[in-house]
Amino acid sequence: MKEEIRRRVLIVDDEEPGRINLRFALAAHASWEIAGECADVAQARAFLAAQTVDVVFLDIRMPHESGLALAHDLAQQPAPPLVIFVTAYDNHAMEAFRVHALDYLLKPLDDADLEKALARRRVDGAAPVGCPHRHPARLVRVAPADAGPGTRLSAPVKHPLGRPHRRRAT
């Protein structure tokens, strides 16, 4: 029997009821382990400096610093955790996807929406924490540094959802 991979999760939300609701919703999914909970971005930065997680469930509007700022900084890392925003505001969705969010869930959290987001993470692949190819934004093939302009990449490129596709030459 194949052993199920456990996903480590960090919950970042300034409102305790939001953290509690997400904690209870994730409890129904045995393969998801809550590694920690933080009430603001500063706590999350300290936590992530000391520990590695697969997914960060992140609120956007928090005191002192936005969850979008943390997501932007995470996206710059060589092997960032995936980010799923959980927020009461729908007007930040475009900006959230610009920082490569895996999903954008609205509060109050709907169990069906959470299940879809978790399923999307399972489709994303089972690459271990620390693997540079585990984040959808990192799943592109780059031309070698010595390649000249107009270099064609004919090798298949791994698609974030596992579908093969080819990168178009520019």
pTM above 0.95, yes or no: no
Q: Decide the pairing of beta strands 103-106 and 82-87.
A: parallel
Give domain limits for the chain: 7-124, 139-170
What's the pLDDT tens digit per position in 20-60? 999 999 999 889 999 999 999 999 999 999 999 999 999 99
Side-by-side strand order, sheet with 55-58 = 32-38, 7-12, 55-58, 82-87, 103-106
What's the pLDDT tens digit per position in 65-124? 999 999 999 999 988 999 999 999 888 888 888 888 899 999 988 888 999 888 876 654
Q: Is 72 or 165 the better-scoring residue by pLDDT? A: 72
* pLDDT bracket for residue 137 (50, 70, 90): very low
CB 38 within 8 A of CB 50: no
Q: Decide the pairing of beta strands 156-158 and 164-166.
A: antiparallel
**CATH superfamily placement of domain 7-124:** Response regulator (3.40.50.2300)
